[in-house]
Amino acid sequence: MNLNPETRPKSGAFIIVPVPDAPISISRAERENADALLDLISELARFEHLPPPDTAARARLIEDGWGERRRFDAYLAYVPESEAPVGFCLFFETYSTFLARPRLFIEDLYVRPDFRRRGIGTALIKWCIEQAFERGCWRVECMGLDWNKSAQDLYGKMGAHQFFEWFLFRFERRMIEHHVGALPKRRF
């Protein structure tokens, strides 16, 4: 694989992160390599014991990632011995009303099993942190599954702290539809 930045899409960012084993390149996922990102997302879903995105979900991911209204940013990690990306991160901005500042939320971060323990996950997190800094974000947040001890250890090793006083609550789509259907029509 040629790590020359000139071979990457012109609109995407490109970096080489030095690690002891090999250089890692990180580039913005573009519509041209969306299938590679979608394959990694499917691998992550299987790793998390979830169904991978179906055809309709894959189409929505492409629209949300590269359509008129981009809803997230995604980056792919490469190493010299693999033509295909070996990992990815996907993030978006949120907002803290108490700080009155933006936050960067890492929705997904994944490295293929054969490429773990080589600094790729660390490089992806550092990339997210750099992006947060450049965007003026005051925090970087992510979640880890209760059984994924290696992710928890990595986040902790990098200085993130776990919250015990906050709990995640989620309204699934069916509940959203239930509540919207129960609301009276608004008049403006």
Q: List the chain pLDDT tens, one digit each, 188 residues.
A: 333 334 333 444 444 444 555 589 999 999 999 999 999 999 999 999 999 999 999 999 999 999 999 999 999 999 999 999 999 999 999 999 999 999 999 999 999 999 999 999 999 999 999 999 999 999 999 998 989 898 999 998 989 988 888 888 889 988 988 888 866 666 65
For the segment(s) 5-163, the CATH number from 3.40.50.720, 3.40.630.30, 3.40.720.10, 3.40.50.1820 is 3.40.630.30
List strand residue ranges (DSSP E) for 23-171, in order: 24-28, 73-78, 87-96, 101-111, 139-142
| Predicted local confidence at residue 63, as pLDDT | 97
| Predicted local confidence at residue 22, as pLDDT | 59
| Predicted local confidence at residue 188, as pLDDT | 54
| Predicted local confidence at residue 20, as pLDDT | 52
| Predicted local confidence at residue 186, as pLDDT | 64
Q: Are 103 and 137 in contact (CB under 8 A)?
A: yes
Give the bridge partners for 168, in sequence order: none
Cα–Cα distance, 25 to 17 (Å, whole number):
6
Domain chopping of the chain, boundaries:
5-163
Which H or E element spans position 180?
Answer: helix 173-182
